Amino acid sequence: MKKKHAVLSMDIEDWYHLDYFAGKELDKSRSMLDGLTKYIELLNRNNIKTTFFTLSELADSAKEQILYANQSGHEIACHGKSHLRPLQMDLRTFAKEISEAKETLSELIGKEVIGYRAPCYSIDRKRFDLVIKAGFKYDSSMITFNEHPLYGKLDLSDFEQQVKGIYHKNGFYEFELSTKMFMGRNMPVSGGGYIRILPWLFMKPMISRYLKNAEVYVLYIHPFELSDAKMPNVNDTSLLTNIRARKGLYKMEAKLNMLIGMLKANNFEIKTFSQLINDI
Ligand SMILES: [Zn+2]
Protein backbone atom coordinates (compact mmCIF):
# COMPACT_ATOMS: atom_id res chain seq x y z
CA MET A 1 0.00 0.00 0.00
CA LYS A 2 1.21 3.50 -0.79
CA LYS A 3 2.05 5.77 2.11
CA LYS A 4 -0.42 8.54 2.90
CA HIS A 5 0.77 11.87 4.29
CA ALA A 6 -1.01 14.73 6.05
CA VAL A 7 0.24 18.13 7.16
CA LEU A 8 -1.93 20.08 9.65
CA SER A 9 -0.26 23.41 9.02
CA MET A 10 -1.01 26.65 10.83
CA ASP A 11 -0.31 30.19 9.63
CA ILE A 12 0.98 32.21 12.58
CA GLU A 13 -0.76 35.56 12.31
CA ASP A 14 -3.13 37.49 14.56
CA TRP A 15 -6.82 38.30 14.02
CA TYR A 16 -5.99 41.79 12.73
CA HIS A 17 -3.98 40.31 9.84
CA LEU A 18 -7.19 38.93 8.31
CA ASP A 19 -7.57 40.35 4.85
CA TYR A 20 -11.24 41.22 5.44
CA PHE A 21 -10.07 43.85 7.95
CA ALA A 22 -7.44 45.44 5.68
CA GLY A 23 -7.60 49.24 5.80
CA LYS A 24 -9.83 49.31 8.91
CA GLU A 25 -8.96 50.83 12.25
CA LEU A 26 -8.01 47.90 14.48
CA ASP A 27 -7.07 47.60 18.14
CA LYS A 28 -3.84 45.67 17.72
CA SER A 29 -3.18 45.64 21.45
CA ARG A 30 -5.72 42.81 21.62
CA SER A 31 -4.29 39.49 20.58
CA MET A 32 -5.78 36.08 19.80
CA LEU A 33 -2.44 34.31 19.68
CA ASP A 34 -3.39 32.24 22.73
CA GLY A 35 -4.87 29.99 20.03
CA LEU A 36 -1.32 29.25 18.90
CA THR A 37 -0.30 27.91 22.30
CA LYS A 38 -3.52 25.90 22.42
CA TYR A 39 -2.76 24.36 19.02
CA ILE A 40 0.85 23.49 19.95
CA GLU A 41 -0.47 21.78 23.09
CA LEU A 42 -3.18 19.90 21.16
CA LEU A 43 -0.56 18.63 18.69
CA ASN A 44 1.91 17.76 21.42
CA ARG A 45 -0.79 15.77 23.28
CA ASN A 46 -1.41 13.80 20.08
CA ASN A 47 2.31 13.42 19.42
CA ILE A 48 1.91 15.18 16.05
CA LYS A 49 4.45 17.50 14.44
CA THR A 50 3.49 20.23 12.04
CA THR A 51 4.67 23.25 10.07
CA PHE A 52 3.93 26.79 11.24
CA PHE A 53 4.09 29.45 8.50
CA THR A 54 5.04 32.50 10.53
CA LEU A 55 4.83 36.24 9.92
CA SER A 56 8.23 37.67 10.71
CA GLU A 57 6.74 40.85 12.18
CA LEU A 58 5.58 38.66 15.09
CA ALA A 59 9.13 37.45 15.77
CA ASP A 60 9.40 39.78 18.80
CA SER A 61 5.89 39.85 20.20
CA ALA A 62 5.28 36.11 19.80
CA LYS A 63 8.88 35.08 20.32
CA GLU A 64 8.23 32.72 23.22
CA GLN A 65 5.41 30.90 21.44
CA ILE A 66 7.39 30.52 18.21
CA LEU A 67 10.33 29.14 20.19
CA TYR A 68 7.96 26.85 22.09
CA ALA A 69 6.73 25.43 18.76
CA ASN A 70 10.30 25.04 17.55
CA GLN A 71 11.46 23.37 20.76
CA SER A 72 8.49 20.98 20.61
CA GLY A 73 9.88 19.67 17.33
CA HIS A 74 7.55 21.54 14.97
CA GLU A 75 8.83 23.23 11.85
CA ILE A 76 8.95 27.02 11.58
CA ALA A 77 8.43 28.25 8.02
CA CYS A 78 7.81 31.70 6.55
CA HIS A 79 4.51 33.49 5.85
CA GLY A 80 6.14 36.79 4.80
CA LYS A 81 6.57 39.81 6.97
CA SER A 82 3.36 41.77 7.44
CA HIS A 83 0.63 39.82 5.62
CA LEU A 84 0.46 42.26 2.72
CA ARG A 85 -0.85 40.40 -0.29
CA PRO A 86 2.08 39.51 -2.60
CA LEU A 87 0.10 40.34 -5.75
CA GLN A 88 -0.31 43.88 -4.42
CA MET A 89 3.45 44.28 -4.02
CA ASP A 90 5.80 45.00 -6.88
CA LEU A 91 8.37 42.28 -7.55
CA ARG A 92 11.28 44.07 -5.97
CA THR A 93 9.36 44.79 -2.73
CA PHE A 94 8.15 41.20 -2.59
CA ALA A 95 11.67 39.79 -3.06
CA LYS A 96 13.02 42.07 -0.34
CA GLU A 97 10.21 41.21 2.06
CA ILE A 98 10.53 37.42 1.78
CA SER A 99 14.33 37.53 2.09
CA GLU A 100 14.14 39.69 5.19
CA ALA A 101 11.40 37.55 6.71
CA LYS A 102 13.39 34.36 6.04
CA GLU A 103 16.45 35.86 7.70
CA THR A 104 14.57 37.14 10.78
CA LEU A 105 12.89 33.78 11.38
CA SER A 106 16.03 31.75 10.71
CA GLU A 107 17.92 33.90 13.19
CA LEU A 108 15.19 33.50 15.80
CA ILE A 109 15.18 29.70 15.72
CA GLY A 110 18.87 29.26 14.97
CA LYS A 111 18.39 27.24 11.79
CA GLU A 112 17.48 27.89 8.20
CA VAL A 113 13.79 28.34 7.42
CA ILE A 114 13.11 26.56 4.12
CA GLY A 115 9.34 26.77 3.55
CA TYR A 116 7.14 29.63 2.34
CA ARG A 117 3.41 30.25 2.10
CA ALA A 118 2.01 33.41 0.50
CA PRO A 119 -0.51 35.41 2.56
CA CYS A 120 -4.00 34.84 1.10
CA TYR A 121 -2.49 32.34 -1.40
CA SER A 122 -1.88 35.45 -3.44
CA ILE A 123 0.89 34.33 -5.77
CA ASP A 124 1.72 34.08 -9.46
CA ARG A 125 4.58 32.46 -11.32
CA LYS A 126 6.84 35.54 -11.27
CA ARG A 127 6.61 35.78 -7.49
CA PHE A 128 6.86 32.01 -7.11
CA ASP A 129 10.18 32.12 -9.01
CA LEU A 130 11.39 34.78 -6.57
CA VAL A 131 10.56 32.42 -3.69
CA ILE A 132 12.87 29.84 -5.28
CA LYS A 133 15.52 32.49 -5.84
CA ALA A 134 15.37 33.57 -2.18
CA GLY A 135 16.67 30.14 -1.19
CA PHE A 136 13.47 28.47 -0.01
CA LYS A 137 13.19 24.74 -0.71
CA TYR A 138 9.42 24.48 -0.88
CA ASP A 139 6.23 26.50 -1.15
CA SER A 140 2.65 25.78 -0.15
CA SER A 141 0.63 28.59 -1.71
CA MET A 142 -1.20 26.81 -4.48
CA ILE A 143 -4.92 26.28 -4.22
CA THR A 144 -7.23 25.45 -7.10
CA PHE A 145 -10.36 27.32 -6.17
CA ASN A 146 -11.32 29.80 -8.82
CA GLU A 147 -14.35 31.09 -6.92
CA HIS A 148 -12.19 32.84 -4.31
CA PRO A 149 -11.35 36.38 -5.46
CA LEU A 150 -8.02 36.73 -3.59
CA TYR A 151 -6.23 33.56 -4.63
CA GLY A 152 -3.68 33.88 -7.39
CA LYS A 153 -3.18 31.49 -10.27
CA LEU A 154 0.00 29.50 -10.47
CA ASP A 155 1.14 27.78 -13.65
CA LEU A 156 3.46 24.88 -12.81
CA SER A 157 3.19 23.00 -16.09
CA ASP A 158 6.99 22.59 -16.22
CA PHE A 159 6.94 20.84 -12.82
CA GLU A 160 6.58 17.11 -12.42
CA GLN A 161 3.56 16.03 -10.39
CA GLN A 162 4.92 13.30 -8.11
CA VAL A 163 1.64 12.44 -6.47
CA LYS A 164 -1.55 14.44 -6.70
CA GLY A 165 -0.90 17.75 -4.95
CA ILE A 166 2.91 17.56 -4.89
CA TYR A 167 4.95 19.17 -7.69
CA HIS A 168 8.70 18.97 -8.04
CA LYS A 169 11.45 20.53 -10.12
CA ASN A 170 15.22 20.75 -9.49
CA GLY A 171 14.90 20.00 -5.78
CA PHE A 172 12.09 22.52 -5.19
CA TYR A 173 8.63 21.34 -4.08
CA GLU A 174 5.15 22.82 -4.25
CA PHE A 175 2.49 21.43 -1.90
CA GLU A 176 -1.00 22.22 -3.08
CA LEU A 177 -3.84 22.78 -0.61
CA SER A 178 -6.43 20.04 -0.71
CA THR A 179 -9.66 20.61 -2.62
CA LYS A 180 -12.50 18.29 -3.58
CA MET A 181 -14.91 18.57 -6.48
CA PHE A 182 -18.40 19.30 -5.26
CA MET A 183 -21.24 19.95 -7.68
CA GLY A 184 -18.77 20.77 -10.42
CA ARG A 185 -16.66 23.12 -8.31
CA ASN A 186 -13.44 22.66 -6.37
CA MET A 187 -14.17 23.08 -2.66
CA PRO A 188 -11.32 23.42 -0.18
CA VAL A 189 -11.41 20.54 2.30
CA SER A 190 -8.23 21.95 3.73
CA GLY A 191 -9.07 25.36 5.10
CA GLY A 192 -9.72 26.20 8.70
CA GLY A 193 -12.24 28.74 7.49
CA TYR A 194 -14.28 26.19 5.54
CA ILE A 195 -14.06 23.54 8.24
CA ARG A 196 -14.94 26.14 10.85
CA ILE A 197 -17.81 27.85 9.04
CA LEU A 198 -19.53 25.02 7.19
CA PRO A 199 -21.52 22.49 9.23
CA TRP A 200 -19.54 19.40 10.19
CA LEU A 201 -22.41 17.28 8.90
CA PHE A 202 -21.60 18.67 5.46
CA MET A 203 -17.81 18.80 5.74
CA LYS A 204 -17.26 15.39 7.35
CA PRO A 205 -18.51 13.26 4.42
CA MET A 206 -16.69 15.52 1.97
CA ILE A 207 -13.38 15.15 3.85
CA SER A 208 -14.07 11.41 4.24
CA ARG A 209 -14.47 10.94 0.52
CA TYR A 210 -11.35 12.97 -0.11
CA LEU A 211 -9.26 10.93 2.36
CA LYS A 212 -10.32 7.59 0.88
CA ASN A 213 -8.60 8.30 -2.43
CA ALA A 214 -5.96 10.91 -1.61
CA GLU A 215 -2.31 10.30 -0.81
CA VAL A 216 -1.74 13.79 0.57
CA TYR A 217 -3.91 15.97 2.79
CA VAL A 218 -2.93 19.52 3.69
CA LEU A 219 -4.84 21.55 6.28
CA TYR A 220 -4.33 25.21 7.13
CA ILE A 221 -5.73 26.96 10.17
CA HIS A 222 -5.03 30.13 12.14
CA PRO A 223 -4.48 30.89 15.84
CA PHE A 224 -7.65 33.03 16.10
CA GLU A 225 -9.71 29.96 15.18
CA LEU A 226 -8.65 28.31 18.44
CA SER A 227 -8.46 31.38 20.65
CA ASP A 228 -10.47 31.73 23.87
CA ALA A 229 -10.45 35.51 23.42
CA LYS A 230 -13.42 37.22 21.84
CA MET A 231 -12.69 38.71 18.45
CA PRO A 232 -12.66 42.51 18.87
CA ASN A 233 -15.42 44.45 17.16
CA VAL A 234 -14.40 46.20 14.00
CA ASN A 235 -16.31 49.24 12.85
CA ASP A 236 -17.44 49.53 9.25
CA THR A 237 -17.36 45.80 8.55
CA SER A 238 -20.23 44.13 6.83
CA LEU A 239 -22.41 41.56 8.54
CA LEU A 240 -21.09 38.92 6.14
CA THR A 241 -17.49 39.67 7.11
CA ASN A 242 -18.39 39.49 10.78
CA ILE A 243 -20.03 36.12 10.26
CA ARG A 244 -17.08 34.81 8.27
CA ALA A 245 -14.58 35.92 10.89
CA ARG A 246 -16.43 34.64 13.94
CA LYS A 247 -18.63 31.73 12.98
CA GLY A 248 -17.88 28.34 14.50
CA LEU A 249 -14.88 29.39 16.55
CA TYR A 250 -15.98 27.55 19.67
CA LYS A 251 -16.33 24.22 17.83
CA MET A 252 -12.95 24.23 16.13
CA GLU A 253 -11.00 22.23 18.69
CA ALA A 254 -13.57 19.41 18.64
CA LYS A 255 -13.55 19.39 14.84
CA LEU A 256 -9.76 19.18 14.81
CA ASN A 257 -9.82 16.20 17.15
CA MET A 258 -12.34 14.48 14.86
CA LEU A 259 -10.23 15.30 11.82
CA ILE A 260 -7.12 13.80 13.44
CA GLY A 261 -9.17 10.67 14.19
CA MET A 262 -10.30 10.46 10.55
CA LEU A 263 -6.73 10.86 9.27
CA LYS A 264 -5.49 8.10 11.56
CA ALA A 265 -8.39 5.82 10.60
CA ASN A 266 -7.44 6.31 6.94
CA ASN A 267 -3.76 5.46 7.62
CA PHE A 268 -2.39 8.96 7.12
CA GLU A 269 0.97 9.76 8.68
CA ILE A 270 0.79 13.31 10.05
CA LYS A 271 4.02 15.27 9.72
CA THR A 272 5.79 18.53 8.80
CA PHE A 273 6.44 19.56 5.20
CA SER A 274 10.19 19.07 5.75
CA GLN A 275 9.58 15.49 6.87
CA LEU A 276 7.29 15.00 3.90
CA ILE A 277 10.08 16.03 1.51
CA ASN A 278 12.34 13.43 3.12
CA ASP A 279 9.65 10.76 2.85
CA ILE A 280 8.78 11.11 -0.84
ZN1 LIG B 1 -2.22 34.28 6.36
pLDDT at residue 222, rounded to an integer: 93
Q: Which parts of the chain have pLDDT scores under 70?
A: 1, 145-152, 179-188, 192, 248-250
pLDDT at residue 182, rounded to an integer: 58
Burial class from Cβ neighbours inside 10 Å (0-12, 13-18, 19+) for residue 125 reads middle
What is the span of the domain harbouring residue 213?
4-279
CA of 16 to the centre of ligand 1 (A): 11
CA of 88 to the centre of ligand 1 (A): 15
CA of 19 to the centre of ligand 1 (A): 8
CA of 110 to the centre of ligand 1 (A): 23
Count of domains for the chain: 1
Instruction: Identify residues whose C-beta is under 5 A from ligand 1, the ion.
Output: 11, 13, 119
CA of 266 to the centre of ligand 1 (A): 28
Query: Residue 122 belongs to a domain with what CATH number?
Result: 3.20.20.370
pLDDT at residue 147, rounded to an integer: 54
pLDDT at residue 142, rounded to an integer: 87
